[in-house]
Structure 1
């Protein structure tokens, strides 16, 4: 874990390059932190500056990123192509975490990777997340989406078994239709967390969504207020 300040990240990246070339390490994780940690302390210029420093680090150390197995990115405003470029370069990546990241404008984020097994997207202003092709993905966390946004589209993710969805739902948020979200998936463990009184799951008759949830084995409902239900 390190901060995006001065030349420290590049020095770390070059050290990782050398260690990997000498076969001294097998798994590498980068947790890239900004100097300001709390979301409420961040301003737009901070997000842009952090993203620029992150891209300089990324461009300066391609070998280190090529061997990366876990990558945490926090408080960044990146260009539309940044995450796809990261996924394309980090061939060995198994875990990716995005926290409070956006592109300034709401964009659709396509995710395609042959080895990624864990994906966490928390408080990111993205129009849509498209899990187009992630054959090794097994676990996903998605927390805090926009009012006009649906949970991620699940394309080719045949091994995806565990999904956690959390949202602070306001009056203008769309409700999630679980039968559509789960349709065709292999999800066995589903966690739904509610951060307000508003239920963001669309009520459905059990028989209507039976075909979509027949693989589901565990449903964990968290912070649902007393007197509220999903029917």
Structure 2
């Protein structure tokens, strides 16, 4: 990694600004001062320095925009001719890891300022993406630079990903309140930047009751909003209304309920890990919602009815449900009651079902959703994702009414199962689906997924022995049994992972 001064001088800053600004670390944490060819991005290593600098400017820009902006700036040290190129980039992307940002947060602010302040207003910025820590001085510098560009230049898309200076799981409530206040000040001090922002990602913030509606009022063209460990207080209710929002992601907040009201353009919504028994999500007027992803461990007795949850959003075509290897938190329902809200559903993904659960309950979804083309199921006791390692006693098989043996599905084309085992649970299920899905083309069966973190974190945890077929003879034998049990000469191709 180059010193900060070298990066900044490439775009005309000369010597780096004072080290203490924006919490930058001392020189002991900085890497060597050289910028050898071997340190350049892989896309330009095929050239030597002289040949690279002789390329036409438009070709050089095409190469530089395939790497991060800081790498592009470092590359431009090769020649005086190239030092003007950073201010001509149409994509400005600074997306460092958290560890790198500890040392480089100030550089993000300075490089952003210099690139935006020295570029021609005639060059459209197709994409601006900045990740940075919530540091008041750095945020102000970035906000003022981006705000000025919003006013004076053409900017198609702008994204802020703002990290808190505290680890996600070690951040106290007091710090979350502090970070929210700092962010509110950032928004008020830089209204032009947020007025043109299209994507916003926030972490570790506890807002006041009126903060979030106020923030959204500044972000008039916002299309994507993501909250990670953000809320408005324990058991608070979040109301969101926005004319332009297309995507919303909420994870690990302490909201009692999330109410989505007037969001006429919302297409994608994900809500993960709601903590309370009340209805976690209330969907209002969302005429374009097509992708819905929900994930929770649900260690309580509360189960959700999809017929109620999706009553106002029959436009959903892609439904993903994540169970954290814990209890099944949706309630099997009569297909007649559920069919009106699943009429347009085409893709179903059921992730991390507990291994001891009979998966035949999932048939009720196929019966209620005649347009489904793809069904994917993952059965896995993914220990490092489980909320409680002692929660097996809370997991019971789902009670449901067996499906009509004469039920037929005309549109299902693909069935995929991860965690397949050669036992009655899986063999019977695959045969039943093939029997019902008269036009199924492909059945893809995989062994359990592997997670090194599970092994490292729980080295002594008991693992169920795998009965996944290993040899070609075993696989051929299972294919024959499944086909025979499906009671028809199926044309479906049954594939086992190699």
TM above 0.5: yes
The whole-number CA distance in structure 1 between the counterparts of 2:340 and 2:148 is 52
**Does 1:177 find its partner at 2:305?**
yes
C-alpha contact 2:256 2:276 (8 A) present in aligned 1: no
Match of 1:207 among 311, 326, 336: 336
Equivalent runs, 1:1-231 vs 2, <5 Å: 1-39=131-169, 41-172=170-301, 174-185=302-313, 186-226=315-355, 227-229=357-359, 230=361, 231=400
Count of matched residue positions in the alignment of Structure 1 and Structure 2 = 229
Q: Secondary structure at the match of 2:212?
A: helix
Find the residue that maps to 1:7 and give its secondary structure: helix
Deviation of the 1:215 alpha carbon: 1.8
Structure with greater contact order relative to length (CA < 8 Å, sep ≥ 6): 1
Local SS of the residue matching 1:104: coil
Task: Give, in angstroms, the shift of residue 30 of structure 1.
Answer: 1.1
**What runs of 5+ residues in structure 2 fail to find an aligned partner?**
1-130, 362-399, 401-498
Give the structure-1-normalised TM-score: 0.94
Contact 1:164-1:190 at 8 Å conserved across structures: yes
- CA drift of 1:225 comes to 2.2
The alignment partner of 1:201 has SS state of coil
Cα shift at 1:38:
2.6
Three-state SS of the structure 2 residue aligned to 1:129 is strand
Which structure has greater helix proportion? 2
Deviation at 1:206, TM superposition (A): 2.2
Distance in 2 between residues matched to 1:6 and 1:208, nearest whole Å: 53
Instruction: Give the gaps of 5 or more residues in structure 1.
Output: none
Q: 8 Å contact 1:51–1:78 — kept in the other structure? A: yes
In our comparison, the structure showing a higher alpha carbon Rg is: 2
Confirm or deny: 8 A CA contact 2:262 2:284 kept in the other structure: yes
Say which SS state the counterpart of residue 223 (structure 1) adopts.
Answer: strand
Deviation at 1:217, TM superposition (A): 1.5
State the distance in 1 between where 2:273 and 2:326 align.
15
